Amino acid sequence: ITRHHLYINLPAEIETDPRWARHVKEGVKGRGFWFWKPALINLLWSQGTLKDGDAVVMADADTPPYLGPDDAQLWEDVLERPLWDVFVKEQDRCELEWTKGDIF
């Protein structure tokens, strides 16, 4: 990993963007758990921070570590020989609880 970004809040560019207005209101389903990931990737892509071929690894601070010591070889394989556009390690949360239906 050559660059990393740490966010504790949504960047102002997302919070104030009219396209995201209905998604960033307090208490809106998906806001804290699922909305921010694609919005943040979109922002970093549009700023030129992310480029084609870059790998993005996301980890939430309030969830168990998905990059544990036993996963080193798994992640190495995924990054060296990417076979997918999106790779998600097993999670203990159901996306339907937190994701808006219009995403699917």
Q: What is the dihedral of CA 16, 19, 94, 74, to 10 degrees?
A: -80
Res. 32 pLDDT band, cuts 50 70 90: low
**pLDDT greater than 60 at residue 80:** yes
**pLDDT greater than 50 at residue 59:** yes
Q: Tokens 């544990």 map to which residue?
A: 68
Q: Which of 90, 87, 43 is nearest to 63 (CA)?
A: 90
Give the pTM.
Answer: 0.63
C-alpha 64/C-alpha 40 separation (Å) is 21
The one-letter amino acid code at 7 reads: Y
Q: Which of 42, 55, 38, 50 is nearest to 103 (CA)?
A: 38
